[in-house]
Structure 1
Amino acid sequence: MKVTFIGTGSMGSLLIGAFLRSGALQPHNIYATNRSSHKAELLAKRHPGLHITHSNVEAARGSHIIFLCVKPLDFPSVISEIRDVLTADQIVISITSPVLIQMLENLIPSKVAKIIPSITNSVHSGASLCIYGKRIQPENRILLKQLMSSVGTPLALRETETRIASDIASCGPAFISYILQQWIDSATELTGISRREATILGAEMLVGTGKLLTEGGFTLEELQQRVAVPGGVTAQGLAILESRLQGVFPSLIEVTHRKYDEDLSKLEISFNNIAQNTRG
């Protein structure tokens, strides 16, 4: 099976490394291309046997699965470049939320899916978001589910849920690590605990909390109630969070969705131009 990755930046290289470490793919299965040949060559050095090509067209030609791992606003140019060599048997995967499946299905004959990975997939953990186009067949779903299960937990969603799900699964590690960093900064400044000790404690707390929610049978509310004894230290701390965090997450969701809508509008214009040029 030939699996192509167009774009080997942060997420492209992350997925390649995760698939190889899991054994789901072997280096000889993978063809990769990147706008920066230096990045692609470094990737090949890390994974001997991996194929590097400097042509997106050659990388896409004859591939069973094509992961498009470029920035959202680069999609129109990449699609314009490779569309003539794409076939109905191929599966083309977008890994970015504002590129709608319908946009791609209008321009290429291939089966189309959207799979949003997370940095947590690099340690074979976390969720990946899977949205399937109308041409995807049951056997294609099985294949993609098996592939993504090797690096985490694939979750099938409706496309309308993509942005908020991405906020939690893909952006979430950055948001949560920022909150933890602020907590650790305050802990070291106010108490004298070392940053190393506080970081270990915080990281292990996150891992354990995740296991309680996924394996321990706890809901979020039950976990809070179990730890926060009425009148105790934890309850006092929760009261502070309740008063200070009001409005933070609605604002976060508002700003991520605004950025999504801006990118979506730009992409609609670009993809419509491609369609009009094709008809012309």
Structure 2
Amino acid sequence: MNVGFIGTGSMGSLLIEAFVSSGALTPGQIAASNRTYAKAARLASCYPGLKAVTSNAEAAIGRDIVFLCVKPHEFKTVIDELRSVAAPEQLFVSITSPVMIKVLEDQLPSKIAKVIPSITNRVRSGASLCIYGTRTTDEDRARLENLLGFISVPLRIDERYTRIVSDLSSCGPAFISYVLQCFVDAAVEETGIDRGQALSVATAMLRGTGELLTAGGMTPEQIQQRVAVPGGITAEALQLMERELDGVFGQVIRTTHAKFREDLEKVGFSFYGEEVNGL
């Protein structure tokens, strides 16, 4: 299998690093381009055999799968470069949530999929969310999910839920780590405990909680019930959190969805001169 990457920013480089370190791909199977060529060249120097190329078309030609790892406002320019070289048998995979499958199927003759990766894929964990266009076959889906299976748990989703599952899977690590950071900072400020020690304890707790929720088969509610003895310290603190955090996560979701709709509209105007009906 030969794979192309267009865009080697934060997520593009993360996917390349994860695929290579997991053994899913060898560097020699990868070609990569970036708007700033030096970034692709740096990756090639880290992974001898990886081919850094100067044009997006060169990264795509002859590749079985091509990952499009660019920002929404860059998509129109990239697609214009690829339209003349994209082949019907190729699978183009966007990792950009506001770019709809239908838009890409309108613009390219190839098979289209969308994947929402997560920073957790860097440690071969978490989910990768998969959405498929009308031209993909069972073989295409199996091949992509086999590749993603080296670094994640591939989960098929309906495109109408793109934003909310992205919140949970892709944005979620940032949200949870922010809560953990606030917890640790408060511990240091209130008690004077060494921050490194507090962070070590808290991250070990987070990892263990993740195990309880997965391998342990427990739900969030069950964990709270087991830890919070009625009338005890944890129960009292949970009551405080319920009062103070009431509605916060609803606001978080409304904020991400509003930004998503804004980006969706911009992508639609860039391709068609009008808004694309989205999610």
Indicate whether the TM-score tops 0.5.
Answer: yes
1:278 is aligned to none
Q: Does structure 1 residue 130 correspond to structure 2 residue 139? A: no
Distance 2:273 2:244 in 1: 47
Which whole-Å CA distance do the structure 1 matches of 2:219 and 2:178 have between them? Answer: 23
TM-score (norm 1): 0.96
> Counterpart of 1:112 in 2: which secondary structure?
strand
Encode CA deviations 1:231-264: one digit per residue, 9 max, x unaligned: 1111011101100001101110011000000000
State the match for 2:17 in structure 1.
17
Deviation at 1:117, TM superposition (A): 0.5
Q: Unaligned regions of 5+ residues in structure 2, if any?
A: 275-279
User: Residue 263 of structure 1 aligns to which amino acid in structure 2?
Assistant: D
Rounded Cα–Cα distance in structure 1 between residues aligned with 2:96 and 2:273:
20
Which residue identity is paired with 2:238? Answer: L
Aligned equivalent of 1:29: 29
Partners of 1:16 and 1:127 lie apart in 2 by 16
Deviation for aligned residue 1:273 = 4.7
Partner Cα separation in structure 2 for residue 206 and residue 127 of structure 1: 17
The residue number in structure 2 matching 1:255 is: 255
Is there any run of 5+ residues in structure 1 with no aligned partner, and where? 275-280
Match of 2:83 in 1: 83
Q: Which residue number corresponds to residue 277 of structure 2?
A: none
Aligned AA (1:38): A
Q: Which runs of 4+ in 1 moved over 3 A?
A: none
1:140 equivalent in alignment to 2:137? no
Q: Could you tell me how far apart the structure 1 residues matched to 2:4 and 2:72 are?
A: 18
Any idea what the Cα deviations from partners look like across 1:112-132, whole Å, max 9, x if unmatched? 000010011001011111111
For the aligned residue pairs, the C-alpha RMSD in angstroms reads 1.0
**Aligned AA (1:265):** E
SS of residue paired to 1:128? strand
2-structure distance, mates of 1:221, 1:39: 45
CA deviation after TM superposition for structure 1 residue 192, in Å: 1.4
- Measure how far apart 1:201 and its partner are: 1.1
Partner of 1:117: 117
Indicate the percent of aligned positions where both proteins have the same amino acid: 56
Instruction: Show the 5 A alignment for 1:154-165.
Output: 154-165=154-165
- Aligned residue for 1:20, secondary structure, equals helix
Task: Report the alpha carbon displacement of residue 150 of structure 1 after superposing the two structures with TM.
Answer: 0.5
Alpha-carbon separation, structure 1, partners of 2:162 and 2:183: 30
Partner of 2:153: 153
Letter in 2 for 1:126: G
- Are 1:105 and 2:92 matched, yes or no? no
Paired letter, 2:61: R
The C-alpha deviation readout for 1:130-174, integer Å capped at 9, x for no partner, is 111111100111111111110011111000111000011101111
The AA in structure 2 aligned to 1:137 is T
